[in-house]
Amino acid sequence: MPYFIKYKWILILDLLCASLTTVCELVLPLIVRLITDKATNAPETLTVRLILSVGVFYLVLRVIDTLASYYMANTGHVMGARIEADMRRDLFGHLSKLSFSYYDEAKVGSLMSRLTSDLFDVTEFAHHGPEEVFISLIKIVAAFCILCTVNVWLTLIIFSFLPFLFLVSFVLNKKMRRNFKESRVQIGELNSQIEDSLLGIRVVKSFANESIEVEKFEQGNNKFLGIKRLSYLYMGLFQSSTRSFDGVMYLAVLVSGSLFMINGKIAPADVIAYLLYVTTLLTSIRRLVEFTEQFQRGMTGIERFCEIMDEPIEIQDKENAVLLPAVKGHVEFSHVTFRYAEGLDDVLADINLSIAPGESVALVGPSGGGKTTLCSLIPRFYEVTDGTITVDGYNIQDVTLESLRSQIGVVQQDIYMFSGTVLENIEYGRPGATMEDIIEAAKMAGAHEFIMQLKDGYNTYVGERGVKLSGGQKQRIGIARVFLKNPPVLILDEATSALDNESERLVQQSLERLAKGRTTFTIAHRLSTIRNANLILVLTEEGIVEQGNHESLMEQQGLYYNLYQAAMNVEQ
């Protein structure tokens, strides 16, 4: 309803046009009845003038019907498309606000299904729903009123069948609705599986596992086919039951009408009009019944739309959130504890840190110690469970997300490249930046030289997820993106761990230039790269077990000492 309200005048005019399209169908039986009655009982009154007058009147109605139908087919459909666009915009906007914890569980293919095919069904429902219900109700009520003026008892006999028809429809509708929802869930799962297989096609081919992926697809596809078969079973029962009711009602009119006519209770012209009205009535009921499939699809789409829109936004601005001014980069953790959900173990417990502006902090330790999680708390990708994090004295929960994240740069192990050009991917760091600034950022990242060697330079298309670039090239473009953003706080999440030695050397040089003068948190892969860090934190499942600079930690000969010695042996 909130989406309809925006277009209420279009909807009102659409329903007015819908009512006009019913006039022809309701008037035609009356015209046939009039002409038949005069031809049978008073032929002398059936003049050419009367016939032409009736013909012109009906022609005018047909012109009105044509114009009204055009408005419904054109503007009515556009209204549905606008509602779809509004819902898709709100759905995408809501998805963009959901936290990482939601996407840790969600499947992108399923979300794509909700954004596309589900909302298309809602469009058809939004347009045709009010029209079909409105037209059918007008025809049913009008037919009942007109038929009652002809013969009340025959009318009651005909309409006595409707409760049984609606009861059967109600029972089958419930089954169809449940089945349509299962169908939507399965098509989402199928989309996720297809996306997973196609995005990982290089891995699939490298292991020669095409047959396994085809088999997995076949299983999902067959499951979807089974659900569709069941839905068509219900649909077949639905349509055949309505057709059987059609036949019974026609039979009732023929038998009952003939008996009433024999007994002089109804005129022959009235029986003909009756048959025409019953046809109109049954057509309306059939349209209403056939619309049920569209209704079920639309309602299923709306339910799935609401499931996401009802998903709480865990991380959002407070009502009185303030803009974070330009900061120097003093980051402080005060008794910070974090767990992913209630009932789970703490990932981080009672963390206390104070990082001065421009200092570099390295986080090392075994996997699962919470290194990435600790860094993810600073830009509020996850919300702290207890304690506070401040930047230049501002509690990060008291400032707007945009102003906080605009001053934090993140370089991850897997740099995400958007489908577009090199230029567009660098500009993403500061939309609207000048070409001079973009080139300067690329030079600082050590990327300008290889970019100019590409076929179209900065306008080279990088392919899906940057597939046309090497790992080192993607990494340096990602660094150029952060150079362009120019944030005072920097997070480097194992930014060189997946690179070969030469690429790592180039990227490491770029990272050193990027980190200069910024408060930097580095999740280290190779410990030799963080020897000059002001502070090194050794994290395990027990929390921060050691901290200090490289020399002091080596003197302790604890966990860091063992990790460093092992790393040196591997590198040698």
Who has greater pLDDT, 281 or 62?
62
- The residue-averaged pLDDT of 426-442 equals 90
Stretch among 180-194, 383-397, 513-527, 539-553 having the lowest mean pLDDT: 180-194
Retrieve residue 90's tokens: 């709100």
What one-character DSSP code corresponds to residue 264?
A: T
Least confident of 6-15, 99-108, 139-148, 562-571: 562-571
- 34 and 104 part of one domain: yes
Total structural domains within the chain:
3
pLDDT of amino acid 206: 64
Q: What is the pLDDT of residues 124-167, one digit of tens each?
A: 777 777 887 888 788 888 878 877 887 888 888 888 887 887 78
Is 401 contained in some domain? yes
pLDDT at 200 over 90: no
Percent of the chain beyond pLDDT 90?
A: 9
Token readout for 458 is 């900065």
Q: Choose the final residue of a domain: 280, 309, 338.
A: 309
Does residue 332 surpass a pLDDT of 90?
yes
Q: Read off the pLDDT band of 392 (50, 70, 90).
A: very high
Over residues 436-452, mean pLDDT: 88
Radius of gyration in angstroms for the set of CA atoms belonging to the chain, rounded to a whole number: 35
Q: What is the pLDDT of residue 504?
A: 67
Q: What's the pLDDT at 394?
A: 92
* Residue 215 included in any domain: no
**Residue at 458 is within a domain:** yes
Q: Are residues 281 and 180 in the same domain?
A: yes
- Domain shared by 456 and 340, yes or no: no
State mean pLDDT over 538-555.
86
Instruction: Please determine, for residue 571, whether its predicted confidence score (pLDDT) is greater than 70.
Output: no
Same domain, 152 and 8: yes
- State which of 246, 274, 309 marks the end of a domain: 309
- What is the DSSP secondary structure assignment for residue 345, as one 8-state letter? P
| Residue 443 pLDDT exceeds 90 | no
Q: Confidence band (pLDDT; 50, 70, 90) for 499?
A: low
Question: Is 334 a residue whose pLDDT tops 90?
Answer: yes
pLDDT for residue 58: 86
- Kindly state whether residue 363 falls inside one of the protein's structural domains: yes
The more confidently predicted of residues 358 and 24 is: 358
In a domain, 183, yes or no: yes
392 and 456 assigned to the same domain: no
Given a cut of 90, is residue 330 above it in pLDDT? yes
Q: Name which residue leads in pLDDT, 379 or 120.
A: 379
pLDDT one-digit tens code per residue, 101-119 = 788 777 777 788 788 777 8
CA atoms within 13 A on the CB side of 256: 17
Write phi, then psi, for 359 (nearest 5 degrees): -75, 155
Residue 181 and residue 272 in one domain: yes
Answer yes or no: are the C-beta atoms of 109 and 192 closer than 8 Å.
yes
Q: Residue 445 is part of a domain; what is its CATH number?
A: 3.40.50.300
Distance CA 117, CA 183 (A): 12
Is the distance from CB of 34 to CB of 150 less than 8 angstroms?
no
Domain that holds residue 184: 2-191+235-309
* 15 lies in the same domain as 84: yes
Q: What's the CA angle centered on 405, arms 400 and 411, to 5 degrees?
A: 170
Distant-in-sequence, close-in-space partners of 462: CB < 8 Å, separation ≥ 6: 417, 418, 419, 420, 421, 422, 425, 468, 469
Residues 392 and 356 in one domain: yes
315 pLDDT more than 90: no
Q: Within 13 Å of residue 418, how many CA atoms lie on the same side as its CB?
A: 11
Instruction: Tell me whether strands 489-493 and 408-412 are parallel, antiparallel or unpaired.
Output: parallel
Q: How far apart are CA 120 and CA 141, in angstroms?
A: 32
pLDDT of residue 496: 64
Give the CA dihedral 467, 470, 472, 477, nearest 10 degrees.
-50
Query: At residue 498, does pLDDT exceed 60?
Result: no
Together in a domain, 19 and 61: yes
Query: What pLDDT, on a 0 to 100 scale, did the predictor assign at position 473?
Result: 84
Q: Residue 284: which H helix or E strand, with range?
A: helix 268-309
CATH code assigned at 258:
1.20.1560.10
DSSP annotation of 449 reads: H
Look over the chain and give the mean of its residue pLDDT values, rounded to a whole number: 82
| Angle formed at CA 6 by CA 71 and CA 129, multiple of 5 degrees | 55
Q: Which two tokens stand for residue 175?
A: 């089954």
* Same domain for 110 and 156: yes
pLDDT interval class at 395 (50, 70, 90): very high
H/E segment holding residue 83: helix 77-97
| pLDDT tier at 436, thresholds 50, 70, 90 | very high
Determine the pLDDT at residue 396. 93
| 390, part of any domain | yes
Q: Does residue 300 belong to any structural domain of this protein?
A: yes
Residues 479 and 356 in one domain: no
Regarding whether 128 and 17 lie in a shared domain, the answer is yes
Structure tokens at 381: 């990708």
User: Domain for residue 222, yes or no?
Assistant: no
